[in-house]
């Protein structure tokens, strides 16, 4: 068992006391298994994975347990947590355009991450690792990309940089927080394919958060539906899609289907 | 407004300033003696019931001079501020709102004027035109309005593209209406902040002029002049500097604190809770 | 990169011309006639012919524009005319002689500002609303509020007399500059603490910081390398302006700490109505302002990769 | 990017460190302490241009470098200096001086009659600068008539001819400016009015180093003809701010602060009683006074002027403002000034008398008005003072309060030195601070100065009906060779000025100095502008 989350509760400290956001979320993640979390925005899914990574600051109050290889992340010291983050648990975040520091080159920032985690000191060795990761994602002119600055790369390319980091660091868990939302459709397909390839190559288990049902269906083995901070339904991907039990899930799926029909109808109309 | 109340420091500053203003307005009521009345026999007298803060080198009551000094120091600085900002607003709004050649010419002129260090220029003007309150105010205005004009132009230019301004233009509202209804209220709050922050600088600048002998002429009580007079006897009677020095310190610090708090309050993006 | 600099330099030419014009015009505003003043300053009784001959020697009779062009031409040859008080003292030599002391003082306090205000700014931003933040802010407000001549005397009394650590005045060695630099830099230290603190607070919410934490980068590196460098961007042009204002603001400090700088030269020139020196001083200050802004502008565009490509 | 930032910062710091360390090394004065005969003196401004024939240098410095034919002793007597003896012709118009033969300038040039004549000619060639000096005018008059006022009648004999007898000539030769000798080799195109190439004089000290606006170093002239002074070296630091000077003295960075407007009474009292320090004070030298303009509408009225005399409480000014250091002055010139002991009755401090005088001139107290009115106009007089002279400012503020008590509105306006001097020369004032020139100039040069627009005196006296007569009798006093007739002329002038109350005497100024106790026999010369370093020594 890689990751076990037992009735995790997250509430925010406000002047009028604690205001619950996420209440008793429980799930666990086996090796080489992809768990999808489905929910519309504001359902607390991003908050959950931030809690799992231990990234929430003092304004939040956490309860429950997040066991990673048996150790509870919530009670760890900041030092310990930052060691795990990036090395053991890698994350691909939502809006890639602002994910990198505009003042530094890609090479600088990628190297920086590797240097903190892999105790390999000489730069050439680390560069080789990165370029290898690029090759795996069939990105060819790696050196040129490294020399560039974040504002000179497209959203999709930046997303691939993050994935390249995951490949280079070879973590045991990858958390993907809506990686496809902010990029165009073509890149979306590309990113999903690469994430799948990573899973095949390294058997890393993955937590995939999205509000897009079709994306989730392509990549996740089992799925959970979250609504207003609670898990309303969980099960295998197909079951959820074809035989939703809870009202919010139904509602999600039905709107999705209506969308698809509308899309198909207009394709038909303009084709004849 | 709520956030301002929560900042204890700002409240303290605001209350200090309000009490100073009131004491300044009703100076005769608060002071014990006529600030100009001398009795040299009691020169440099220490604190006593008769003279709460002692007496200066001519035996005048320092406490009463401080109270009357508010008028010359704080109100004079305010007057200078109002005139400076007045011109700054007029120029800033015109060039910010009407853009085009007027804006370009005005801004280039401001750039040139701004490229002179303000303190030295004020000194040069007062040194050249001669001493006196009018020259001090004139010098401050001539130098400072360009800074305000540029700041206000920047603000106005920002609001120009806001939808409600554009919409007002499309439905044919008169420029005067747009400026008075939309632009001025918006930039008014930012002007207040600039003014509060700058008040401290003007008070200290007037006090520096007094230090160089170009400030307000005796016998009128003004904190800067009192401080520089006390400086002349620093070695023999160090305590003389306490009263005016602390007065300037407290008032200017309060202006800065208030200005800073106002800016934090208004600049929502900046404040992180 | 080079043509960007050249373009900017060309742009400053009209500005410099305007500054020289204003420096020239300011003097002609003066109520009393320069020729008469030149005579009186040398204790010569301004009889009619004496004034006439002085007007001639100063070339005051030819029209305004001609005088301006001549003056400008001389300035380009670095000949700013000679001081009224002592004809064989060239203004250029006077400025050259007194500039180093002011530059030393300004540079020293500039470094002091950076060395003191940056760390405190970072600390009070990172530990926002903690005790250090509150103490730093109150401390900061107090120090901006003290007129620098009073602060100077207090520091001098405290450190030189009471503790007998530092010399009271003079400008012969490094040690002499410590107290004046502290006094001069005090107002700027507080402004920069505030500037850095606010820009860091603003940048704290940036996404790349979150991603850096996600990548497990240590907090110290995040704050210093990522957060601070970005906040520095916005304080950069303020730094440029402050350096020149430091130079311009030294006349009170030089008066108190007996430093033979350009500030004191200008003060005595103003008091003795030595117009050529005042004119040259205003011109120099204006040009220094323009060049400093230009210099900082270029550095800033160079440091910011987004704009660097556009050069 | 971070590397670049750090690089820039490091570079700047190293550059500054290097730049500072390479700067001038410590002036030797502070390094050597104990027995070495060095004194560090402070002045509020630079010594500037020490050309002896011009007026823009610091007097004490010119006095150290250059010497004259005769010297004026403390009691006013004329003693030999570079001239061992001198004969005055019967008609008082020709003076023959026998010069010392063992004197040379610091650049090696011999001092003889020819060199002396060259100096005199250089002075006379710049007549418009020295016009205020009667002796120069009288010599120039001879040259205008084709005669030769200055002759080198022998290798070591100099003859001066005057167009009319003028007994104060010897005094004017003795003072610091302009009759001092500089080596002819230092002349620029034959004269000194356009500057000098080197400051080579015959004086006890030579200027070694001069860092403008910072400090200057004088050292003993190795080949000085007379007794060499004990003090080997005098360092003059330029410290403009008076508090900084006092702190530097207390800290031991400087050993001596000397001069009337350099030491105010409060700091004198503090250092005189402070452990490790001592204070010294001279005899009353000159009179601190206020000059009233007789041509002005209000101060032109004699009653107003006399009322002002009666309303001024000189006792309190001396006691409260000067802490007794400067004694109250009843008369324009103190009794111990030559020819001034003529028994004039001083104006007593009597407010009632002052008010009755004002009423006699129609200045009535009006209900509800703070100040007296006459035909709708307020009794308002402006007193101008030099704003960086702290004592004058305090007196002005005190008088403002005092005169308000008798219904007179005294506006006091401070202006900087130059503007104040311009105003006096232009005569555009009602009341202005003035000071007599002090011994040895008083009374002759001070009164001579009233005959021309030198300061404010000439224009202020224009309102007097017999101003021409006063000027004439001043001239007679200067030219008469008969002692009693000279005293008669002085009596007439001083009495007229006293009765017309043109001058409001306040206190008799005394020269003062505060110094580190390691310095011994700090005394004063007859002129308050001279600093007698030659008599001082370090314990």
C48 and chain A in contact, CB less than 8 A: no
Range with the poorest average pLDDT among B2-6, B126-130, B163-167:
B2-6
Chains that touch B (3 or more CB pairs under 8 A): C, D
Per-chain mean pLDDT for chain C: 81
In 3-state terms, what secondary structure has residue A172? coil
- pLDDT band of C310, cuts 50, 70, 90: low
The mean-pLDDT minimum among B104-108, C42-46, D186-190, D420-424 falls in C42-46
Please report, for residues A201, B239, C149, C150, C177, the alpha-carbon distance to residue B229 in angstroms, rounded to integers and kept in the order given: 83, 12, 12, 11, 26
Q: Is-contact A3 A53, C-beta < 8 A?
A: no
Q: What is the pLDDT of residues A21-67, one digit of tens each?
A: 888 888 888 888 888 888 877 778 888 888 888 888 778 888 888 88
- Determine the residue among C141, C205, C276 to mutate to test chain B binding: the one whose Cβ has the most chain B Cβ atoms within 10 Å: C141
Residue B264 and residue B198 in contact, taking contact as beta carbons nearer than 8 Å: no
Tokens matching residue A258: 């209506």
Which 8-state DSSP code applies to residue A221? S
- Chain D interface, best mutation among C37, C166, C170, by max D CB count within 10 A: C170
Q: Which helix (H) or strand (E) holds D187?
A: strand D187-188
Domain boundaries, chain B: 2-270
Residues of C in contact with A55 (CB under 8 A): 210, 213-214
Instruction: Tell me the nearest-neighbour CA distance from B120 into chain C, angstroms.
Output: 6
Best B219, B237, B239 member to test D by mutation, with max D CBs in 10 Å, is B219
**Calpha distance D516→D538 (Å, rounded):** 10
Tokens of D163: 């167009």
3-state secondary structure D193-211: EEEECCCCECCCEEEEEEE
Buried b (16+ CB within 10 A) or exposed e, D490-499: bbbbbebbbe
Distance from CA of D515 to the nearest CA of B (A): 15
* pLDDT single digits (tens) A230-254: 888 888 877 777 777 777 777 777 8
Chain B nearest-CA distance from D17, in A, is 28
Buried b (16+ CB within 10 A) or exposed e, A47-65: bbbbbbbbbbeeebebebe
- Model confidence at B272, pLDDT cuts 50, 70, 90, reads very low
Residue ranges of domains in chain C? 92-310
In the three-class reduction of DSSP (H, G, I as helix; E, B as strand; rest coil), residue A232 is classed as strand
CATH number of the domain at B2-270, please?
A: 1.10.3720.10
How far apart CA D78 and CA A217 sit, in angstroms, is 120
pLDDT above 70 (res C48)? yes
List, for residues D139-154, the tens digit of each pLDDT value. 888 888 888 888 988 8
Non-local CB neighbours of D301 within 8 Å, separated by 6+ positions: D361
User: What tokens were used for C295?
Assistant: 């210099």
Which residue ranges make up each domain of chain A?
A: 3-271
pLDDT on residue D8: 56
The Cα B190–Cα B8 span in angstroms is 22
Say what the pLDDT of residue D29 is.
43
Query: With contacts defined as CB-CB under 8 Å, which chain C residues touch B209?
Result: none
Q: Residue-wise over D51-87: b if at least 16 C-beta within 10 A, else e?
A: bbbbbebbbbbbbbbbbbbbbbeeeeebeebbbeebe
- CATH architecture under which domain C92-310 falls: Orthogonal Bundle (1.10)
Q: What does the pLDDT look like over C285-299, one tens digit per residue?
A: 888 888 887 888 788
The counts of H helices and E strands in chain D are 18, 23
Q: How confident is the model at residue D21, as a pLDDT?
A: 47
Confidence check: pLDDT of B10 > 90: no
Query: Rg (Cα) of chain C, in Å, rounded?
Result: 24
Q: Name the residue among B167, B15, B6, B149 with its Cα closest to residue B84.
A: B149
Cα dihedral across residues A237, A238, A242, A245: positive or negative: negative
For residue B153, what pLDDT is reported?
A: 82
Helix (H) or strand (E) holding A223: strand A222-227
Q: Distance of alpha carbon D39 from its chain centroid, rounded?
A: 23
pLDDT for the residue numbered B119:
73
Topology of domain A3-271, per CATH?
Rossmann fold (3.40.50)
> 3-class DSSP state for residue A31?
coil
Here the tokens at position B5 are 């109340």
| D5 and C CB contact within 8 Å | yes
Strand partners, D236: D41, D216
What pLDDT sits at residue D233? 92
> Hey, are the CB atoms on B130 and D400 less than 8 Å from each other?
no
pLDDT score, position D35: 62
Task: Provide φ and ψ at A77, rounded to 5°.
Answer: -75, 160
Give pLDDT tens digits for D85-124: 999 888 888 999 999 998 999 888 899 999 999 999 999 8
Q: What average pLDDT does range D335-343 have in this prediction? A: 83
Dump pLDDT digits (tens) for B118-151.
Answer: 777 777 777 667 777 788 888 888 888 888 888 8
Residue D276's pLDDT is what?
92
**Burial letters B244-273, b for 16+ CB under 10 A, else e:** bbebbbbbbbbbbbbbbbbbbbeeeeeeee
D376's CB contacts (< 8 A; 6+ apart) are: none
**Residue B105 sits at the chain C interface (C-beta within 8 Å):** no
Q: How many whole angstroms separate alpha carbon D381 and alpha carbon D378?
A: 9
DSSP character for B55? B
**How close C178 gets to chain D, by Cα (Å)?**
12
Closest CA to C237 of C300, C186, C188: C300
Rounded to a whole number of angstroms, the distance from the CA of C75 to the nearest CA of chain A is: 42
How far apart CA A50 and CA A48 sit, in angstroms, is 5
B239 interfaces chain D, CB cutoff of 8 Å: no
Interior/surface letters D155-192, b for 16+ CB within 10 angstroms, e for the rest:
ebbbbbbbbebbbbbbbbbbbbbbbbbbbbebbeeebb
Q: How many CB atoms lie within 10 A of CB A257?
A: 12
Pairwise CB contact (< 8 Å): C160 & D251: yes
Residue B183 has pLDDT above 80, yes or no: no
pLDDT of D327 strictly over 70: yes
Helices C178-203 + C131-145 axis angle, to 10: 130
**Which range is most confident: A42-51, B57-66, B170-179, D496-505?**
D496-505
Q: Which two tokens stand for residue B174?
A: 């008169």
Alpha-carbon span B206 to D14, nearest angstrom: 38
Q: How far apart are CA C119 and CA D436, in angstroms?
A: 60
Whether D274 and D416 have beta carbons less than 8 Å apart is answered as no
The tens digit of pLDDT for each residue in D18-62 reads 444 444 444 444 444 456 889 999 998 888 888 888 887 888 999
**pLDDT at residue number D431:** 93
pLDDT band per the 50, 70, 90 thresholds, residue B3: low
The residue with greater pLDDT, B117 or D25, is B117
Tokens 């301002």: give the residue: B4
Please tell me the distance from the alpha carbon of residue C152 to that of residue C57, in angstroms, as a whole number: 43
CA distance C79 to chain A (A): 45
Least confident of C22-31, C223-232, D63-72, D227-236: C22-31
A42: left (phi over 0), alpha (psi -120 to 50) or beta: left
What CA–CA distances, in Å, run from D451 to A39, C27, C245, D163, D487? Answer: 106, 35, 51, 18, 18
Q: Give the pLDDT band (50/70/90) at residue A187.
A: confident
Confirm or reject contact between A170 and chain C (CB < 8 A). Answer: no
Interface touch D26/C172, C-beta < 8 Å: yes
C283 φ/ψ sector (left φ>0, alpha ψ -120 to 50, else beta): alpha
Q: Measured in whole angstroms, how far is the alpha carbon of residue B146 from the centre of its chain? A: 16
Residue B271: pLDDT band (50, 70, 90) is very low
Task: Please write the tens of the pLDDT for every residue from C138-170.
Answer: 888 888 888 888 888 888 888 888 888 888 887
Q: Which two tokens stand for residue D428?
A: 């555009």
CA–CA separation, A44 and A230 (whole Å): 8
Tell me which chain D residue has its CA closest to the CA of residue C111: D13
By the 8 A CB rule, do A4 and A65 touch?
yes
For B155-181, what is the mean pLDDT? Answer: 78
The fraction of chain C above a pLDDT of 70, given in percent, is 91
Looking at residue B110, what is its pLDDT?
Answer: 82
The tokens describing C158, both together, are 């405290």
CB-based contact B270 C251, cutoff 8 Å: no
Q: Do C215 and A113 touch (CB under 8 A)?
A: yes
User: Chain C within 8 Å of B218 (Cβ-Cβ)?
Assistant: no
C184-218 pLDDT, tens per residue? 888 888 888 888 888 888 888 888 888 888 888 88
> Are the beta carbons of D58 and D50 closer than 8 angstroms?
yes
Is the pLDDT reported for residue D514 higher than 90? yes
Is the pLDDT confidence value at D241 over 70?
yes
B22 at C interface, C-beta within 8 A: no
Peptide bond into C111 cis (omega under 30): no
> For tokens 């001579």, what's the residue?
D448
The 3-state secondary structure of C45-97, one letter per residue: CCCHHHHHHHHHHHCCCCCHHHHHHHHHHHHHCCCCCECCCCCCCEHHHHHHH
How far does the CA of residue B239 sit from the closest CA of chain D (Å)? 14
pLDDT tens, residue by residue, B200-237: 888 888 888 877 767 777 777 888 888 888 887 887 77
Per-residue confidence band for D1, with pLDDT thresholds at 50, 70 and 90: very low
Question: B218 is written with which tokens?
Answer: 């005796």
Is the model's pLDDT at B273 over the cut of 50? no
The alpha carbon of residue B205 is apart from the nearest alpha carbon of chain D, in Å, by 19
Residue C226 contacts A, CB cutoff 8 Å: yes
Angle between helices C229-248 and C275-303 (to 10 degrees): 170
C169 touches chain D (CB under 8 A): yes
Helix (H, G, I), strand (E, B) or coil at C131: helix
Condensed to tens digits (0 to 9), the pLDDT of residues C98-109 reads: 888 898 899 999
Find the residue in B nearest to D248 (Cα). Answer: B235
Helix (H, G, I), strand (E, B) or coil at D192: strand
Which residue in B213, B218, B232 is closest to D416 by CB distance?
B213
Residue B233: list chain C partners with CB under 8 A.
Answer: none
Q: Is C162 on the interface with B (CB under 8 A)?
A: no
User: Is residue D18 within 8 angstroms of chain C, CB to CB?
Assistant: no
Q: What is the DSSP string of D508-527?
A: EEEEEEEEETTEE-----SS
In this prediction, residue D31 carries a pLDDT of 44
Q: Is the pLDDT of residue B197 over 50?
A: yes
Q: Please indicate if any CB of chain A lies within 8 Å of the CB of C217.
A: yes
What distance in Å separates the CA atoms of residue C37 and residue B150, rounded to the nearest whole number? 38
How many other C-beta atoms are found inside a 10 Å radius of the C-beta of residue C3? 8
Q: Do residues A99 and A93 lie in contact, with contact meaning Cβ atoms separated by under 8 Å? A: yes
Contacts of A108 (CB under 8 A, 6+ apart): none
Which residues between 400 and 419 in chain D have a beta carbon less than 8 angstroms from any beta carbon of chain C?
416-418
Contact C251, C267 (CB under 8 A): yes
Find residue D510's DSSP bridge partners. D284
Which of B49-58, C177-186, D461-470 bottoms out in mean pLDDT, i.e. has the lowest?
B49-58
């Amino acid at each position: 068992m890689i990751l076990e989350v037992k009735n995790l509760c997250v509430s925010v400290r406000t002047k009028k006391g604690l205001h619950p956001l996420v209440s008793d979320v429980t799930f666990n993640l086996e090796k080489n298994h992809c768990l999808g979390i489905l929910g519309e925005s504001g359902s607390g899914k991003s908050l959950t994975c931030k809690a799992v990574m231990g990234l929430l600051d003092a304004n939040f109050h956490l309860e429950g347990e997040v066991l990673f290889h048996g150790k509870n992340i919530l009670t760890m010291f900041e030092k310990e947590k930052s060691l795990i983050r990036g090395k053991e648990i890698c994350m691909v975040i939502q809006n890639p355009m602002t994910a990198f520091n505009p003042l530094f080159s890609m090479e600088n920032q990628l190297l920086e991450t590797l240097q903190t985690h892999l105790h390999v000191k000489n730069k050439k060795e680390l560069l080789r690792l990165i370029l290898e990761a690029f090759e795996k994602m069939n990105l060819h002119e790696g050196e040129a990309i490294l020399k560039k600055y974040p504002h000179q790369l497209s959203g999709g390319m930046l997303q691939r940089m993050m994935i390249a980091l995951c490949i280079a660091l070879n973590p045991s868990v990858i958390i993907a927080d809506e990686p496809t939302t902010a990029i165009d459709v073509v890149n979306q397909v590309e990113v999903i394919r690469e994430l799948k390839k990573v899973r095949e190559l390294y058997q890393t288990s993955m937590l995939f958060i999205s509000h897009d049902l079709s994306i989730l269906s392509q990549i996740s083995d089992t799925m959970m539906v979250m609504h207003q901070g609670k898990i309303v339904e969980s099960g295998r991907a197909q079951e959820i899609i074809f035989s939703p039990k809870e009202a919010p899930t139904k509602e999600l799926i039905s709107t999705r289907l209506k969308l698809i029909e509308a899309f198909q109808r207009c394709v038909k109309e303009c084709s004849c | 407004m709520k956030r301002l109340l929560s900042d204890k420091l700002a409240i303290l500053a605001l209350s200090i300033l309000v009490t100073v203003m009131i004491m300044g307005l009703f100076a005769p009521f608060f002071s014990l003696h006529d600030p100009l009345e001398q009795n040299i026999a009691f020169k440099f007298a220490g604190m006593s019931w008769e003279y709460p803060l002692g007496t200066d080198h001519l035996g005048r009551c320092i406490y009463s001079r401080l109270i009357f000094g508010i008028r010359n120091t704080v109100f004079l600085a305010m007057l200078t501020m109002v005139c400076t900002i007045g011109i700054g607003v007029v120029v800033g709004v015109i060039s910010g709102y009407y853009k085009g050649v007027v804006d370009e010419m005005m801004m280039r002129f401001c750039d040139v004027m701004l490229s002179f260090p303000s303190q030295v220029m004020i000194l040069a003007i007062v040194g050249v035109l001669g001493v006196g309150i009018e020259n001090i105010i004139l010098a401050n205005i001539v130098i400072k309005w360009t800074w305000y004009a540029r700041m206000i132009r920047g603000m106005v230019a920002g609001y120009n593209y806001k939808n409600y301004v554009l919409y007002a233009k499309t439905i044919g509202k008169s420029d005067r209406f747009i400026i008075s209804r939309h632009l001025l209220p918006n930039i008014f709050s930012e002007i207040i902040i600039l003014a509060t922050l700058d008040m401290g600088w003007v008070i200290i600048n007037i006090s520096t002029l007094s230090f160089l002998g170009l400030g307000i002429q005796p016998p009128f009580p003004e904190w800067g002049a009192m401080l520089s007079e006390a400086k002349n006897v620093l070695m023999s009677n160090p305590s003389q500097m306490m009263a005016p020095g602390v007065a300037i310190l407290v008032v200017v610090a309060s202006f800065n604190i208030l200005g800073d708090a106002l800016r934090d309050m208004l600049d929502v993006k900046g404040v992180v809770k | 990169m080079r043509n960007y600099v050249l373009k900017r330099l060309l742009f400053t030419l009209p500005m410099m011309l305007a500054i020289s014009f204003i420096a020239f015009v300011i003097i002609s505003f003066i109520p009393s006639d320069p020729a008469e003043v030149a005579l009186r300053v040398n204790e010569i009784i301004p009889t009619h012919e004496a004034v006439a001959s002085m007007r001639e020697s100063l070339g005051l009779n030819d029209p305004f524009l001609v005088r301006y062009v001549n003056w400008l031409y001389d300035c380009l040859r670095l000949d700013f005319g000679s001081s009224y008080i002592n004809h064989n003292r060239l203004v250029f030599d006077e400025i050259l002689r007194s500039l180093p002391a002011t530059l030393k003082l300004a540079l020293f306090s500039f470094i002091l500002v950076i060395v003191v205000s940056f760390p405190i700014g970072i600390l009070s931003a990172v530990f926002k609303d903690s005790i250090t933040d509150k103490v730093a802010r109150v401390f900061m407000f107090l120090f901006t509020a003290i007129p620098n001549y009073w602060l100077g005397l207090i520091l001098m009394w405290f450190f030189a007399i009471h503790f007998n650590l530092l010399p009271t005045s003079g400008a012969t060695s490094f040690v002499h500059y410590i107290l004046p630099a502290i006094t001069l830099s005090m107002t700027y230290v507080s402004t920069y603490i505030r500037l850095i603190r606010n820009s860091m607070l603003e940048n704290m919410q940036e996404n790349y910081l979150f991603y850096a934490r996600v990548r497990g980068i240590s907090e110290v590196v995040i704050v210093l390398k990522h957060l601070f460098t970005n906040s520095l961007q916005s304080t950069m042009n303020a730094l440029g302006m402050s350096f020149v204002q430091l130079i311009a603001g030294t006349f009170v400090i030089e008066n108190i700490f007996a430093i033979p700088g350009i500030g004191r030269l200008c003060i005595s020139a103003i008091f003795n109505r030595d117009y050529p020196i005042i004119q040259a001083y205003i011109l120099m200050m204006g040009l220094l302002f323009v060049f400093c802004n230009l210099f900082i502008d270029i550095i800033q565009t160079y440091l910011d990769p987004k704009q660097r490509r556009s050069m | 990017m971070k590397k670049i930032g750090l690089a820039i910062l490091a570079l700047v710091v190293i550059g500054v460190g290097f730049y500072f360390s390479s700067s001038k090394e410590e002036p030797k004065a502070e390094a050597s302490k104990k027995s070495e005969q060095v004194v560090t003196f402070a002045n509020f401004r630079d010594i500037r241009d020490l050309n002896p024939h011009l007026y823009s240098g610091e007097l004490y410095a010119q006095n150290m470098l250059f010497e004259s034919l005769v010297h004026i002793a403390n009691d006013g007597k004329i003693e030999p200096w570079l001239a061992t003896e001198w004969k005055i012709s019967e008609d008082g118009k020709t003076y023959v001086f026998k010069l010392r033969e063992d004197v040379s300038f610091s650049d090696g040039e011999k001092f003889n009659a020819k060199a002396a004549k060259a100096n005199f000619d250089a002075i006379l060639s710049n007549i418009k600068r020295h016009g205020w000096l009667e002796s120069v005018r009288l010599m120039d008059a001879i040259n205008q008539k084709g005669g030769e006022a200055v002759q080198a009648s022998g290798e070591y004999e100099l003859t001066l001819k005057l167009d009319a007898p003028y007994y104060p000539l010897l005094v004017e030769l003795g003072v610091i400016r302009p009759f001092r000798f500089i080596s002819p080799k230092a002349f620029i195109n034959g004269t000194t009015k356009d500057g000098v190439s080197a400051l080579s004089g015959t004086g006890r000290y030579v200027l070694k180093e001069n860092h403008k606006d910072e400090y200057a170093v004088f050292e003993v002239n190795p080949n000085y003809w007379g007794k060499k002074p004990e003090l080997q070296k005098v360092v003059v630091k330029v410290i403009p701010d008076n508090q900084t000077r006092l702190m530097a003295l207390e800290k031991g960075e400087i050993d001596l602060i000397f001069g009337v407007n350099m030491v105010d009474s409060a700091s004198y009292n503090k250092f005189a009683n402070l452990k490790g320090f001592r204070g010294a004070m001279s005899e009353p030298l000159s009179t601190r006074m206020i000059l009233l303009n007789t041509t002005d509408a209000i101060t032109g009225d004699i009653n107003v002027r006399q009322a002002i005399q009666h309303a001024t409480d000189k006792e309190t000014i001396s006691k409260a403002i000067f802490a007794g250091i400067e004694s109250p002055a009843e008369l324009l010139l103190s009794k111990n000034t030559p020819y001034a002991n003529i028994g004039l009755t001083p104006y007593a401090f009597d407010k009632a008398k002052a008010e009755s005088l004002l009423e006699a001139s129609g200045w009535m107290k009006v209900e509800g008005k703070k100040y007296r009115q006459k035909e709708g106009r307020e009794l308002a007089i402006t007193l101008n003072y030099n704003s960086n002279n702290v004592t004058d400012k305090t007196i002005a503020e005190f008088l403002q309060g005092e005169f308000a008590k008798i219904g007179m509105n005294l506006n006091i306006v401070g202006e900087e030195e130059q503007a104040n001097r311009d105003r006096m020369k232009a005569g555009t004032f009602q009341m202005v601070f003035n000071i007599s020139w002090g011994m040895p100039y008083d009374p002759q040069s001070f009164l001579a100065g009233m005959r021309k627009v030198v300061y404010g005196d000439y224009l202020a006296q224009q309102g007097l009906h017999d101003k021409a007569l006063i000027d004439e009798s001043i001239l007679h006093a200067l030219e008469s060779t008969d002692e009693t007739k000279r005293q008669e002329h002085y009596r007439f002038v001083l009495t007229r000025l006293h009765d017309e109350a043109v001058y409001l005497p306040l206190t008799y100024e005394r020269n003062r100095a505060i110094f580190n106790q390691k310095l011994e026999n700090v005394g004063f010369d007859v002129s308050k502008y001279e600093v007698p370093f030659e008599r001082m020594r370090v314990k």
